Amino acid sequence: MFRLWAKAFKDGRMIADTVIEDDSHQRRTQKVFATVEKACRQFDLAQPIWLDKTVREFQLHSKTRFYQDHFIEELAFDFLEIEVLEDD
């Protein structure tokens, strides 16, 4: 089971979080994009833009942060952090 934890932070505090599960037989990359999309829908956000830095962080640590410059619309929080909790 693949599980991704998405957390929204404002002023150093977590203000919202969700855990998205994916038990499909897709590749890991496809699962990451699918679960991030579902998490963004729950937070009522558009998809973030994956910059080279966020891709590298995620590849190294299975965790990264999306700041205002990763989104087109204005955020009601400081950043969105995603982290893989469980990987197949």
Q: Pick from 24, 29, 22, 26: which is nearest to 4 by CA?
A: 22
The residue segments making up the domain with residue 77 are 2-86
pLDDT in tens, 18-76: 999 999 999 999 999 999 999 999 999 999 999 999 999 999 999 999 999 999 999 99
Question: Domain total for the chain?
Answer: 1
Q: Would the pTM count as exceeding 0.85?
A: yes
Q: List CB contacts of 11: < 8 A, sequence separation 6 or more.
A: 78
Stated as kind and residue range, the H or E segment containing 55 is helix 52-61
What confidence score (pLDDT) does residue 87 get?
Answer: 80
